[in-house]
Amino acid sequence: MRTPYIAGNWKMNLAPSEARAYASSLAEAVKAAKPDCRVMIAPSFVSLPGVIEAVKGSGITVAAQNMADHLAGAYTGEVSPEMLKDIGVETVILGHSERRQYYGETDEIINGKVLLALSLKMEVVLCVGETLEEREGGELETVLERQLRVGLKDVQPDEMKAITIAYEPVWAIGTGRTATPEDADAAHRFIRETVAAMYSEDIANNLIIQYGGSVKPSNVRALMEKENIDGALVGGASLKLDDFLPIITFSK
Ligand code: 13P
């Protein structure tokens, strides 16, 4: 049984005071609504301490959106995974397409971060997904397979329980254009088959695969009904309680 896992990636939105206030209302709403899924939110680095404080006792996981590929040293502007752990962050999103696109993160860099996070016993949400050009060029499976094989290189079978995969087709992010539940499910099935080939059927069957890309209250249910879709990684619609609450309570 895979427990549904719904996450809000706040990206570079909400100032720390706004993030904290919103997190408090979300925590209250989650305690009242008791969603049938695990809920995670990923605020910006500077908002993490306030948000952690605000959601205490609610069961909401607070994650970072990124981290450095080193533990400490002369890396101006970076945030170490050890610093995240020190403030109570145990989960990190890695390989988001915006990190790949705008900050030059390669599969190799992302793999280094994945291994570092796992060495500190952190949980990882590893993002994969193709651009429109790649999809239209028939490269969907090649791209996903490369992102998985390189991104998870040297990850040991017993560490796979700390890994969640988020399938986020780049053309569906922030565009209002959602993948159809059928297209998303097909990509998720391919991801599961690839992980089965790399590890085992058992590990693949237990793997949580989130879909991300213009998830909203109106489409979450149809997506979540699909066999291989186990959760969502929500951007824009995670920034307001009125949108995010109906998404995390999709089954009610
Ligand atoms: P949107 O939900 O705004 O399309 O963003 C998806 C995403 O990138 C989540 O990580």
236 CB less than 6 Å from ligand 1?
Answer: yes
Q: Whose CA is nearest to atom 7 of ligand 1?
A: 235
214 CB less than 6 Å from ligand 1?
Answer: yes
Rounded mean pLDDT for each run of 10 residues along the chain, 252 residues in total = 96 98 98 96 98 98 98 98 98 98 98 98 98 95 98 98 98 89 98 98 98 97 98 98 98 90
- Residue 110 CB coordination number (10 Å): 24
Indicate which residues carry an active-site annotation.
96, 168
**Distance of CA 98 from the midpoint of ligand 1 (Å):** 10
pLDDT of residue 177: 85
91 CB less than 6 Å from ligand 1?
Answer: no
pLDDT of residue 225: 97
Q: Whose CA is nearest to atom 9 of ligand 1?
A: 235
Task: List C-alpha distances in Å: 157 to 52, 114, 190, 196.
Answer: 30, 14, 19, 11
pLDDT of residue 178: 84
pLDDT of residue 150: 98
**Distance of CA 212 from the midpoint of ligand 1 (Å):** 6
**Distance of CA 116 from the midpoint of ligand 1 (Å):** 25
Residues 6+ apart with CB under 8 A from 235: 8, 9, 11, 173, 174, 212
4 CB less than 6 Å from ligand 1?
Answer: no
**Encoded amino acid at 150, one letter:** V
Q: Whose CA is nearest to atom 1 of ligand 1?
A: 235
User: Contact, 139 vs 130, CB < 8 A?
Assistant: yes
pLDDT of residue 65: 99
Q: Tell me yes or no: is domain 5-248 CATH 3.40.50.300.
A: no
pTM above 0.95, yes or no: yes
Got the DSSP string for 151-204? HTTT--GGGGGGEEEEE--GGGSSSS-PPPHHHHHHHHHHHHHHHHHHS-HHHH
213 CB less than 6 Å from ligand 1?
Answer: yes
Query: Rounded CA gap, 65 and 127, in Å?
Result: 11
- Residue 230 CB coordination number (10 Å): 23
pLDDT of residue 238: 98
215 CB less than 6 Å from ligand 1?
Answer: yes
